[in-house]
Amino acid sequence: MSKGRTPMTSNSCYPLDALREEVSAQLRAAGIKEEDLRIEYPPPGIDAALAFPCFRLSQKEKKAPALIAQEIAEKIKIGVLGLLPVAQGPYVNFSINPEPYDRLTLACIDEKGAHYGGEEKNEKTIIIEYSSPNIAKPMSVGHLRTTIIGQVLKQLFRFLGYRAIGINHLGDWGTQFGKLIVAFRKWGDEERLQEAPINELLRIYVLFHQEAEKDPSLEEEGRKAFNDLEKGDAGAQKLWERFRNLTLDEIDRIYQAMGVDFEHVTGESFYEDKMQKVIDAIQAKGLSEESEGAQIVPLKEHGIKQPLLLKKRDGSSLYATRDLAAAVYRVETFHPAKILYVVGSEQKLHFQQFFKVLELLGYDPGLFVHVDFGLVNLPEGKMSTREGRVIFLESLIDEATTRAKQRLVEREFQGTPEELDQLARMVGISAIKYRDIYQPRNRSITFDWDEMLSTEGNSSVYIQYALVRMKGILRKGEVEAFIDPEAAKILVSPQEIALIRELSRFPEKVRLAAKEYEPFHVADSVYEICQAFSRFYKENPVLIASEPQRSARLTLVSATARVLENGMDILGIAKPEKM
RNA sequence: GCGCCAGUAGCUCAGUGGAUAGAGUGCUUGCCUCCGGAGCAAGAUGUCACAGGUUCAAAUCCUGUCUGGCGCGCCA
């Protein structure tokens, strides 16, 4: 840090925070009360970094807002990071004093390094449940969003100092396993199961449903088989275990390719022996009742019309029961500050119900968050594994890798075939991931190959390419991440200033992403940084510049690469050295 | 029928009650003697679904209508 010239009340050196504090202090000194202190960001056309609107005061004091702005501006003295504010209409606009602000930014990046944008370690635990594929089914692009968003959130919260625990809540329990057991006993092929387990399981599963249309008694048989399984029948148990292990081996390969990992892989079956306790607690509180032979928890009095189904007529469990057991187990085992459920928005009602029941059981409702997201549809309509209208994750990864490779060959990539393969995977898989985090989670997506694997504009490739150019410059400039804050006085071109400004915004965007559970804010900042860099790169030569520009620009490239890598690490975007 | 989500540029989408509503893509046009052009620059394109209301101020809040997606008892 450069000599503590900057007023800082927190231990954070983030420049935008410091500027905000400075501006707040100035406004307070000018007589603005705390409750009127609202600082906002002016729109892009306005040449200012922060603005204070005077409408509210105008109401209180019955004076024209422009007049108030004028008076406030006159009372304020020049700051350290900011210039003398100016009244523009009803606003008091605060502009940045580039040199000290940029010096602080560079110093902060230098000081924090790989932690720039992050926060100090805290003691809080956050649990993130994500991915959660079904055993015996291939992963389709439908599982992509939860897997990627969940993994990114985990990395994001770690970056912000949390202890983040990822849980893969496998769909390894439920009626479909009864069906699968019946199907395998009738039509299963041992050899095929060995060779391509998921394929074979999918085949007999689809077959089961076809046959069940002709012979509805199969459904009953399936339910009975699950009931056996739940009661601990040895034969059923053994088959189930095989299906589970074989599927997991296959799925693990995809996780590995995508850089996804979990602290715990505990499927629904894990909670099989933990459900009774919750059911007892619910009954003890008198929350449940019998209805049409099933056990339900009515929620009408609590604003939810549909009751939660606790137990089926035949006494076997439902997913809500297992989710309740899982929640209780996790709270007691990990004492988390939050549990995030990264699950599609079509399950919103389910989460409302089961969160409400937890609340009625005495748990803090603020503990549980459904991080929902929109569906992935195909142009032909809703995906359906049974009806064969589906794109498997494996084919998506293959296609992405193939396309990346093709492009690399076109561009005459220099390297061994192994390097080419590896790079193609880095580029291809990152492209897939980025598509799920560059926009908010909320919307449903219609799957489109070209859009999914885009390499232009706001895409992972654009970001990787920007990093590669930075690395290229640093390599040739023989600079090892050297950042000299004093470069701030030389970095005065519009592109240089704009780039540093963008770097200074990164921490705030990271924080916002965590607050809203929205990875896209990080992606957005990363993209803006790359765009600012590309503009800088175009107009400001680095290596061929003469001193002191050359060194100053090397510092800037170094700092930019640092921040960019922090962002890419959060997002799980691969960081190639060359491409 | 009820509930939730969405409707902003041709397409995919940002946008904290405040200033001239922004990106990407697509389209038109420039830019490789220069650190990698998967790039940069410029241009055109808007009834913010519609109708009311609240407010000094509404794409943003409220009500209603229309359109689309999802959900609503023994699947997850």
Q: Residue ranges of the domains in chain A?
A: 15-96, 174-264, 394-571
pLDDT of residue A316: 82
Cβ-based contacts (< 7 Å) between A 135-154 and strand B: none
Closest by CA to A181, choosing from A233, A112, A217, is: A233
pLDDT score, position A11: 52
What is residue A384's predicted lDDT score, i.e. its pLDDT?
82
Strand B close residues, chain A 412-451, CB < 7 angstroms: 427, 439-440, 442-445, 451
Strand B contact with A478 (CB < 7 A): no
Q: What is the pLDDT of residue A492?
A: 94
Closest by Cα among A352, A392, A379 to A368: A352
Element (H, E) at A377: strand A376-377
Q: What's the rounded Cα separation, in Å, for the pair A307 and A287?
A: 11
b (16+ CB within 10 A) / e for A182-208: bbbeeebeeeebeeebbebbbbbbeeb
**A37's tokens:** 């202190």
The answer to whether the beta carbon of residue A315 comes closer than 7 angstroms to any atom of strand B is: no
pLDDT of res. A3? 33
Residues of chain A with pLDDT under 50: 1-10
Q: Please identify, in words, the CATH class of the domain defined by A15-96.
A: alpha beta
Is A409 (CB) below 7 Å from strand B? no
CATH number of A394-571: 1.10.730.10
Q: How far apart are CA A447 and CA A391, in angstroms?
A: 9
How long is the CA A510 to C1' B61 vector, in angstroms?
A: 28
Residues 262-291 of A with CB under 7 A from strand B: 268, 291
Omega of the bond leading into A548 within 30 degrees of 0 (cis): yes
- Please answer whether residues A510 and A21 qualify as being in contact, where contact means their C-beta atoms are separated by less than 8 angstroms: no
Alpha-carbon separation of residue A491 from A494, A530, A547 (angstroms): 9, 18, 12
Asked if strand B contacts A460 at the CB level, meaning under 7 A, the answer is no
Amino acid identity of A378? L
Strand B nucleotides, any atom under 7 Å from protein beta carbons: they are 2-6, 12-16, 18-26, 34-41, 56-57, 69-76
CB atoms within 10 A of CB A66: 15
CA at A459, C1' at B66: how many angstroms apart? 36
For the CA of A408 and the C1' of B33, the distance in angstroms is 26
> Nearest nt to A427, CA vs C1'?
B38
Would you say the C-beta of A348 is within 7 Å of strand B? yes
| Nearest protein residue to nucleotide B72, judged by CA and C1' positions | A306
Residue A544 (CA) to nucleotide B33 (C1'), in angstroms, measures 15
Q: Is beta strand A376-377 parallel, antiparallel or unpaired with respect to A445-446?
A: parallel
